Amino acid sequence: MQQFHPLKNFLYLLLTIGPCLGEILTPIAVNIGDTANFTCNKTCNGNLLWTFDTDNEKLEVLECVKETCTKKENFKNRVSPKPGALSLDLYPVLYNDQGWYTVACDSERVCRFHLEALVPTTVSTPVRSNITLHCYARTEKQIADDNVDILWKKDDKMVIQVQKGVTTYGSGFTGRASLSLPHYKDGDLSLNILGVTPSDKGLYRCYHRAEDMHGYPASVTLNVTAYQKVFEKKFGENLTLDLFGSDSVKVTFNGHDAAETLVCSVSGSNTCSSDYNHRVSVINGFLVLRDLTLSDTGTFTVRDKMGEVIGVNTVTVEGVTQRHHYIAMSVPVGFILICLFLCWQYHRQTQPLQYRISYNTMQAAVDINPEPSREPACIGLSQQETNPEPDIRPRTPVEETMPETERTIEKQDNTEKYIEVI
């Protein structure tokens, strides 16, 4: 934990009284690996010399004589002078680069900078989430609220400041950024941010009491990652995509087997592709896609005006795939059912025919081999009962070619039978 240090008080004093001594003193705090910009708004018509010094050493950085500049050994591949101004860029910043940087014109010092190389803590969070950026410092346990002094800055712009009991917010952080005064008495200066947006990405620094007094860690880099969401929709439903309140975003679509295509560019005026123009509406920071179909299964990506991905929406349209599966299955099933129905109809129609054929076959067999017909036996009957009276009704004359019916009586086993011979 970084604590109050006499050297920092001395540096703060120098930065305060520097203008009184006729030179410009500027504090610069940069993450290791980033670029330090030393900007001096003075002019010089003579020779320039940039130097670097700490408590232990003093080195030359850059020398310019008659507009010909020479980069010194320890800074040869890392410094870039700006033509026409007493300014210098240093990239990348190394940990041992922290110290004092001075520019002199014809041996007269005109600008002076103090560089602090920060070891950043990196935090990542998705869009729309809440995040706490931690910072700690040695504080007084019984300090009054109106004596609390906290300052959070993002990219050198104020996020929130509590000073003498009054809270002030930076642009875009009103109602979203907060500090805890009770926690401050425990040494906790942490910053809370609600509903992270893509514009919240950047370098945050925490200050305690004075702007040169950093808490620990000295800086926090906030990375805002893409918002991930999975949608499971049904055929014909609507899809609502969050545009995260950005001033200008672009929405694209990528199917499983297709290249990425533009859906809409949303800014002051909305421009949508012809494939989506009749189905898309932008309402209160949301994009609504109506009447989903199978072709909408894929990934809808939302990018900000810098081209960075801030939203990834994976969409699956349910029911459509199953519907096609059912259709594909219904074809063979329907064919089988039709075949069974036809077989049943055929069996129903042919069964009586087969019965009639079998009956006729049996009848034909009987006709071919008839069994001798047996008249009922007349046992113990009188001659009158067995021989009824002849029919005395007049008969139609019979042609002579037809022989007269001859009646014979055959007796067998005391049983009388009548046999008619034609």
Residue 364 in any domain: the answer is no
Residue 219 sits in the same domain as residue 136: yes
Query: What is the arithmetic mean of pLDDT over 150-158?
Result: 93
* 88: helix, strand or coil: strand
Pick the residue with more confidence: 408 or 332?
332
Is the pLDDT at 246 greater than 50? The verdict is yes
Domain termination site, one of 51, 83, 118: 118
Predicted confidence band of residue 38 (pLDDT cuts 50, 70, 90)? very high
Total number of residues shown for the chain: 422
Which CATH number covers residue 220? 2.60.40.10
CA distances from 380 to 327, 375, 384, 417 (A): 86, 15, 12, 13
**Residues of the chain with pLDDT > 90: what percent?**
42
Residue 131 in any domain: the answer is yes
Does the global pTM surpass 0.75?
no
Residue 13 sits in the same domain as residue 103: yes
* Count of structural domains within the chain: 3
Residue 216 in any domain: the answer is yes
Residue 231 sits in the same domain as residue 315: yes
Residue 405 in any domain: the answer is no
Domain termination site, one of 118, 151, 180: 118
Is the pLDDT at 17 greater than 90? The verdict is no
Residue 174 sits in the same domain as residue 264: no
Residue 195 sits in the same domain as residue 274: no
Is the pLDDT at 9 greater than 60? The verdict is no
Pick the residue with more confidence: 406 or 152?
152
Is the pLDDT at 407 greater than 60? The verdict is no
Most confident among 8-12, 180-184, 362-366, 372-376 (mean pLDDT): 180-184
Residue 220 sits in the same domain as residue 235: no
Q: What is the pLDDT of residue 336?
A: 87
Query: What is the arithmetic mean of pLDDT over 223-244?
Result: 94
Measure the CA–CA gap between 97 and 349, rounded to whole angstroms: 103
**What does the block give as tokens for 257?**
């087997």
Residue 238 in any domain: the answer is yes
Residue 98 sits in the same domain as residue 162: no
Residue 18 in any domain: the answer is yes
Q: What is the pLDDT of residue 81?
A: 87
C-beta of residue 34 within 8 angstroms of C-beta of residue 96 = no
Predicted confidence band of residue 79 (pLDDT cuts 50, 70, 90)? very high
DSSP conformation class of 188:
B
Residue 341 in any domain: the answer is no
**What does the block give as tokens for 8?**
């920092």
CA distances from 354 to 320, 359, 363 (A): 50, 8, 14
pLDDT digits 0-9 by tens, 41-65 = 888 888 999 999 998 899 999 998 8
Predicted confidence band of residue 258 (pLDDT cuts 50, 70, 90)? confident
Q: What is the pLDDT of residue 343?
A: 82
pLDDT digits 0-9 by tens, 157-214 = 999 999 988 999 999 999 999 999 889 889 999 999 999 988 899 999 999 876 668 8
Is the pLDDT at 35 greater than 80? The verdict is yes
Is the pLDDT at 141 greater than 80? The verdict is yes
C-beta of residue 237 within 8 angstroms of C-beta of residue 296 = no
Residue 31 sits in the same domain as residue 129: no
Q: For residue 163, what are the domain limits?
A: 121-225
Domain termination site, one of 97, 118, 139: 118
Residue 410 in any domain: the answer is no
Predicted confidence band of residue 68 (pLDDT cuts 50, 70, 90)? confident
Is the pLDDT at 324 greater than 70? The verdict is no
Residue 178 sits in the same domain as residue 247: no
Q: What is the pLDDT of residue 215?
A: 86
Query: Half-sphere exposure of residue 122, counting CA atoms within 13 Å on the CB side?
Result: 6
Q: What is the pLDDT of residue 212?
A: 64
Q: How far apart are the first and last CA of the chain?
A: 144
Residue 165 sits in the same domain as residue 86: no
